[in-house]
């Protein structure tokens, strides 16, 4: 007895488990018994574990694929209820959005197709067996607001691909409608919204879902009388004995489905409908929000943009004010230095000019005064050239004049110039270079300019008895160019850490060097570095206060052919060239004439462009070989005069060489001179060597 009592709980648990295991079977059998299935139908159910149903996947909330790719919506609730009623298991597979063919369904192993539009005539069509409707709702018209909808109007109707029954009904009932296929429901909505189609006819539940989208706010819904949307199942069978379900099996399946559908009450179908709609209401996206409140968003964006622009302008203005305050001291120092640098040699020239008037009879003294005047004038010219170079480099208007360069000759020339200056200060000057490629294609004048500037700085800031060294090395780069590295080292004062940070800033100078008489314009190093960068290299340095500095200048150039000739032949007197000089400044004109006559060239002066044009046109063809043309002259400027000469009807009008000869050497004037017909450009003050070089060329 005691043993029986101990085992009683176990018997109870086993009984409960067996009871609940039997309940589903009992319920299924009871539900199937409600359907009054025949023996043949029961046999069909027991012999089919699962049926493959193809469903339309773009009819939210009626029938569609959820985020997991499974059937969702009203149809899913109804199908699950039908499955529960008849005992059949369903496998839901989405159908393509385009037209689905009979062969596709048969070959794909589909047993049923859902969401087929009910039409009794489909019963007679080959390959189609349809059930009674499992869901009925109204069809409605969707049109743009303001469209006058009439059934007898010639309107274009957007129809989603696959709506064969609807197409057939519309084409038969409303032949004046033009049916246009679109791949999906949303494509139909977009076509109407954009005006590509006039209207669409669709299931009310589907329309109510999409019409809430803000972008479709200008569309309206119109009920359609006498046109219901009834959805049913269609059995896929192989007629004529082919592979696939037989027509007999298809009819048995349809009978089972019809009994299950008939057993569903209106409340049950209504519950499925409401649940499918409520769970799949349209969800607003960020795009919808932006569209609905687009005017407010645009206004806010404009306001933010205005605030942002004003903020940027405010910050920029304050930055500029801060920079101006920071630069004020530098600019003030520069102006003071420039004033000193210009006034000092000008005072010297004025003084020398006065002394020369007092020593007219002393030729030796006059020669010494003239030599000093030349040195002083050349210094002033270099000062102006530095200013012009800086301006061109800042505006990227300076171009390199690439020609064959003999580096050995250039280094010897530079060293000769530097040696004289070093000797005056009793500095030890050493040169050491290894020229693997002594001939390159480069800008000789600019290379020399950088080297002389660096050597002059080393001389200037190295005390007497110090040492300056120049070394040069070369190597070939992977791109086939020669990389030349020049290092100039001195034992001078060096630079402070603070000044090293701004050494390449325009007008930068270290104040303690200015006080020791080593002042300059503060342009030499910035110009040199920009020239180095322009030549594909750089200018770097290492410096220690009171120990000296080392500057490294690098530049790249293509190697030059050994047969290239950089030498320029001297002008021979027997060439018998005659030059017309157009110059409105009398003193400049006389100087140029004397310079030309001094090298054996015949020249005549025209005081303005109009006179120059007359002198040339009145002369015999070939009289003048070259014209030196000033650009800024009264009566006619150099540009007008050149155009007029080139337009003359005489053989030498196109061949006479015309050189622009002006103090205005900006690149825009160069371009304008060449464009109007001039051949080349010579800067004032005229360098006789450069002039002769141009003439020889």
Tens of pLDDT, residue by residue over 187-224, are 889 999 888 998 888 888 888 888 888 888 888 888 77
For 399-559, CATH number out of 1.10.3720.10, 3.60.21.10, 3.30.465.10, 3.30.565.10 equals 3.30.565.10
Residue at token pair 């769970």: 279
Please calculate the CA angle 282-287-293 and round it to the nearest 5 degrees.
100
pLDDT level of residue 664 (50, 70, 90 thresholds):
low
Helix (H) and strand (E) counts for the chain? Answer: 22, 24
**Rounded to the nearest 5 degrees, what angle is found at the Cα of 261, between the Cα atoms of 260 and 263?**
65
Looking up tokens 């809430």 gives: 212
- Give 486: exposed, middle or buried? Use CB within 10 Å, 0-12, 13-18, 19+: buried
CATH code given to domain 573-696: 3.40.50.2300
Query: Which 3 state secondary structure label does DSSP give 519?
Result: coil
Residue-level pLDDT at 648: 93
pLDDT at residue 672 greater than cutoff 90: no
Residue range 482-536, pLDDT digits in tens? 999 999 999 988 888 888 888 887 656 665 554 344 545 567 788 889 899 999 9
Q: Which of 24-33, 145-154, 659-668 has the lowest mean pLDDT?
A: 24-33
* pLDDT (0 to 100) of residue 139: 84
Q: How much of the chain, in percent, has pLDDT values that exceed 70?
A: 76
Output the CA–CA distances (angstroms, integers) from residue 532 to 223, 378, 537, in the order listed.
82, 24, 5
- Cα separation, 441 vs 405, in Å, equals 6
Of 314, 373, 320, 329, which Cα lies nearest the Cα of 347?
373
In sequence order, the β-bridge partners of residue 490 are: 468, 549
- Predicted local confidence at residue 5, as pLDDT: 41
Q: Can you give the pLDDT at residue 590?
A: 84
Q: Which residues pair with 91 in a beta bridge?
A: 52
* Residues β-bridged to residue 178: 156
Backbone angles phi, psi at 30, to 5 degrees: -70, -40
Measuring CA to CA, how many Å separate 409 from each of 30, 316, 421, 450, 533?
116, 51, 19, 16, 23
Confidence band for 330, pLDDT divided at 50, 70 and 90: low
Question: CA angle 204-206-211, nearest 5°?
Answer: 90
87-101, 163-177, 321-335, range with the lowest pLDDT: 321-335
CA gap 112, 423 in Å, rounded: 109
pLDDT value, residue 508: 60
Instruction: Note whether 613 and 636 are within 8 A (CB).
Output: yes
| Lowest mean pLDDT segment, chosen from 100-114, 478-492, 561-575 | 561-575
The mean pLDDT of 112-131, rounded to a whole number, is 73
Q: Judge whether residue 634 has pLDDT over 70.
A: yes
pLDDT in tens, 567-622: 444 444 445 688 999 998 887 888 888 888 888 888 999 999 999 999 999 999 99
pLDDT of residue 517: 46
pTM for the complete prediction?
0.42
Is the pLDDT reported for residue 556 higher than 90?
Answer: yes
Residue 199 and residue 216 in contact, taking contact as beta carbons nearer than 8 Å: no
Domain with residues 105-292, CATH architecture = 3-Layer(aba) Sandwich (3.40)
Architecture of domain 297-389: Orthogonal Bundle (1.10)
Give residue 12's pLDDT band: very low, low, confident or very high (50, 70, 90).
Answer: very low
Tokens of 509: 């100078």
Domain spans in the chain, listed from the N-terminal domain onward:
105-292, 297-389, 399-559, 573-696
User: What are the tokens at 572?
Assistant: 């021979």
Find out whether 583 and 598 touch, Cβ atoms under 8 Å.
Answer: no
Q: Which two tokens stand for residue 522?
A: 């503060």
Same fold, 105-292 and 573-696: no
The pLDDT tens digits of the residues spanning 252-304 come to: 999 999 999 999 988 888 888 888 888 888 777 777 767 666 666 677 677 67
Neighbours of 213 (CB within 10 A): 19
Contacts of 230 (CB under 8 A, 6+ apart): 117, 118, 133, 135, 136
Higher-confidence residue of 250 and 362: namely 250
Residue 27 has pLDDT above 50, yes or no: no
Res. 162: pLDDT tops 80: no
Whole-number mean pLDDT of the chain? 79
CA distance 588 to 585: 5
- Alpha carbon distance 269, 78 (integer Å): 7
pLDDT of residue 388: 61
Q: How long, in residues, is the chain? A: 697
Asked if the model's pLDDT at residue 693 lies above 70, the reply is: yes
Q: How far apart are CA 198 and CA 48, in angstroms?
A: 47
Q: What distance in Å separates the CA atoms of residue 251 and residue 41, rounded to the nearest whole number?
A: 10
């Amino acid at each position: 007895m005691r043993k029986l009592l101990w085992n009683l709980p176990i018997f109870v648990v086993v009984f409960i488990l067996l009871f609940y295991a039997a309940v589903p079977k009992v319920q299924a059998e009871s539900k199937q018994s409600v359907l009054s299935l025949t023996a043949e139908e029961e046999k069909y159910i027991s012999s089919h574990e699962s049926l493959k149903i193809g469903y339309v996947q773009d009819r939210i909330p009626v029938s569609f694929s959820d985020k997991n790719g499974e059937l969702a919506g009203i149809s899913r609730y109804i199908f699950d209820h039908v499955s529960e009623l008849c005992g059949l298991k369903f496998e839901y597979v989405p159908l393509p959005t385009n037209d689905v063919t009979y062969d596709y369904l048969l070959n794909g192993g589909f047993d049923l197709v859902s969401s087929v539009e009910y039409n009794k005539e489909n019963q007679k069509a080959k390959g189609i067996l349809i059930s009674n409707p499992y869901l009925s709702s109204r069809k409605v018209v969707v049109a743009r607001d303001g469209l006058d909808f009439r059934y007898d109007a010639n309107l274009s109707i957007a129809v989603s691909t696959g709506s064969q029954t609807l197409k057939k009904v519309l084409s038969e009932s409303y032949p004046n409608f033009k049916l246009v296929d679109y791949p999906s429901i949303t494509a139909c909505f977009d076509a109407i919204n954009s005006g590509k189609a006039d209207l669409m006819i669709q299931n009310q539940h589907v329309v109510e879902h999409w019409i809430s989208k803000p972008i479709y706010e200008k569309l309206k819904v119109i009920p359609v009388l006498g046109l219901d949307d009834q959805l049913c199942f269609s059995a896929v069978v192989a007629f004529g004995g082919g592979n696939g379900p037989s027509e007999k099996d298809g009819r048995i399946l349809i009978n089972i489905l019809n009994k299950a559908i008939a057993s569903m009450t209106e409340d049950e179908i209504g519950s499925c409908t409401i649940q499918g709609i409520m769970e799949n209401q349209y969800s607003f996206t960020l795009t919808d929000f932006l569209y609905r409140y687009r005017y407010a968003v645009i206004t806010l964006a404009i306001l933010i943009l205005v605030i942002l622009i004003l903020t940027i302008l405010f910050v920029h203005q304050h930055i500029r004010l801060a920079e101006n305050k920071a630069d004020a001291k530098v600019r003030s120092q520069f102006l003071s230095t420039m004033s000193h640098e210009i006034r000092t040699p000008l005072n010297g020239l004025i003084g020398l000019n006065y002394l020369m008037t007092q020593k007219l009879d002393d030729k030796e003294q006059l020669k010494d005064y003239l030599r000093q005047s030349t040195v002083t004038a050349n210094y002033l010219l270099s000062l102006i050239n530095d200013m012009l170079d800086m301006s061109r480099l800042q505006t990227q208007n300076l171009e390199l004049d690439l020609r064959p360069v003999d580096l050995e000759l250039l280094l010897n020339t530079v060293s000769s110039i530097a040696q004289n200056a070093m000797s005056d200060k009793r500095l030890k000057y050493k040169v050491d270079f290894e020229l693997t490629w002594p001939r390159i294609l480069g800008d000789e004048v600019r290379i020399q300019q950088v080297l002389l500037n660096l050597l002059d700085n080393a001389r200037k800031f190295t005390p007497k008895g110090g040492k300056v060294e120049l070394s040069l090395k070369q190597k070939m780069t992977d791109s086939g160019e020669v990389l030349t590295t020049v290092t100039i080292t001195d034992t001078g004062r060096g630079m402070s850490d603070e000044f090293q940070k701004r050494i390449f800033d325009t007008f930068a100078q270290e104040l303690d060097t200015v006080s020791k008489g080593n002042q300059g314009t503060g342009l030499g190093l910035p110009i040199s570095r920009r020239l180095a960068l322009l030549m594909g290299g750089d200018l770097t340095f290492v410096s220690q206060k009171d120990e000296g500095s080392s500057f490294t200048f690098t530049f790249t150039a293509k190697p030059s052919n050994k047969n290239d000739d950089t030498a320029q032949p001297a002008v021979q007197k027997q060439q018998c060239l005659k030059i017309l000089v157009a110059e409105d400044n009398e003193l400049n004109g006389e100087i140029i004439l004397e310079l030309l006559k001094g090298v054996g060239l015949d020249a005549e002066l025209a005081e303005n462009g109009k006179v120059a044009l007359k002198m040339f046109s009145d002369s015999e063809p070939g009289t003048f070989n070259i014209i030196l043309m000033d650009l800024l002259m009264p009566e006619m400027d150099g540009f007008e005069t050149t155009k007029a000469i080139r337009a003359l009807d005489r053989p030498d009008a196109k061949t006479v060489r015309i050189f622009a000869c002006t103090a205005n050497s900006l690149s825009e004037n160069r371009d304008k001179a060449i464009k109007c017909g001039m051949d080349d450009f010579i800067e004032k003050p005229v360098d006789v060597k450069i002039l002769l070089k141009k003439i020889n060329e």
